[in-house]
């Protein structure tokens, strides 16, 4: 049995080494699933979301969000058509999925109070897709589960305890890295679309106020602390502002609000 576990572990390790990839900023990623598989997952998840959460019936809100999203996705290489859905829900949230899907909750519009701030959110979420973060997260979960099963069988330790440790030590740090990367890539993406990247900072200042200081400690969260995000975005403005100025000189002046 121990030899069998060792062979499984060796084979698993070999597969993980072969499946290494690099993100747009040079971070190492694990990729165990193809882009086509991720697209299929994204489309399926989006369809499920649409059956569970009602869309907004406000035509003006739909037009506004779609206008901002379209301006962002026009800057994405490949010319893919992205589907945009505004969900009638109080959550302060949005997401983008592989397969070209974007969802925005109406609750977000109470915190992202301008088209530029909404562009910061959508740019961030689309950047997750462009950087392959969804594939990396699925792959990390697969790899973690493989390790959990092997360790549990070999040691007799309860799998849920190993899983909790793997979540804290592996999944969460990678997730925070993904969030930080999506912040800076999203800041550049919104700038290329003609939205003011300085408003990404204002957005997270609004988010901090909206949270009322109830965010979990950074080491227990999949997201960086608001203060960390604000500092990182401010530091990255030196790269984003020239992209914004170039976009404006090219006539990219979104008027969605």
Residue 110 class from Cβ within 10 Å (0-12 exposed, 13-18 middle, 19+ buried)?
A: exposed
Joined tokens for residue 213: 């200081």
188 classed as catalytic:
no
Instruction: List the catalytic residue out of 40, 83, 125, 227.
Output: 125
Nearest to 68, CA basis, from 115, 124, 128: 115
Residue 79 backbone phi and psi in degrees, to 5: 70, 20
Question: CA-to-CA distance for 198 and 189, rounded, in angstroms?
Answer: 13
Say which residue the tokens 């597969």 belong to: 15
CB 190 within 8 A of CB 116: yes
Instruction: Determine the straight-line distance between the first and last CA of the chain, rounded to whole angstroms.
Output: 64
Q: In what order do the strands lie in the sheet with 101-105?
A: 83-87, 101-105, 94-97
Three-state DSSP class for residue 27: coil
Three-state DSSP class for residue 34: coil
Q: 28 - beta bridge partners?
A: 22
The distance from CA 210 to its chain's CA centroid, rounded to whole angstroms, is: 20
H-helix or E-strand spanning residue 24: none
CB 135 within 8 A of CB 202: no
Q: Give catalytic residues, as residue numbers.
A: 125
């Amino acid at each position: 049995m121990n030899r069998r576990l060792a062979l499984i572990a060796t084979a698993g390790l070999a597969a993980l080494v072969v499946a290494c990839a690099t993100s747009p900023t040079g971070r190492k990623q694990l990729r165990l699933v193809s882009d086509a598989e991720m697209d299929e997952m994204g489309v399926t998840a989006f369809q499920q979301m649409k059956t569970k959460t009602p869309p907004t019936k406000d035509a003006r809100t739909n037009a506004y969000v779609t206008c901002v999203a379209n301006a962002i996705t026009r800057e994405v290489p490949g010319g893919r058509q992205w589907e945009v859905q505004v969900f009638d829900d109080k959550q302060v949230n949005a997401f983008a999925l592989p397969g070209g899907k974007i969802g925005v909750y109406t609750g977000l519009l109470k915190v992202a109070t301008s088209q530029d701030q909404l562009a910061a959110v959508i740019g961030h979420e689309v950047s997750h897709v462009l950087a392959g973060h969804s594939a990396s997260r699925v792959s990390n979960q697969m790899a973690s589960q493989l390790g959990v099963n092997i360790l549990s069988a070999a040691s007799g330790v309860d799998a849920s305890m190993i899983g909790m440790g793997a979540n804290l030590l592996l999944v969460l740090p990678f997730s925070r890295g993904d969030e930080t990367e999506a912040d800076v890539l999203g800041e550049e993406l919104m700038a290329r679309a003609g939205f003011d990247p300085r408003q990404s900072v204002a957005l997270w200042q609004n988010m901090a106020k909206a949270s009322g200081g109830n965010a979990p400690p950074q080491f227990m969260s999949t997201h960086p602390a608001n203060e960390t995000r604000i500092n990182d975005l401010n530091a990255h403005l030196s790269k984003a502002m020239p992209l914004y100025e170039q976009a404006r000189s090219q006539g990219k002046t979104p008027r969605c609000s």
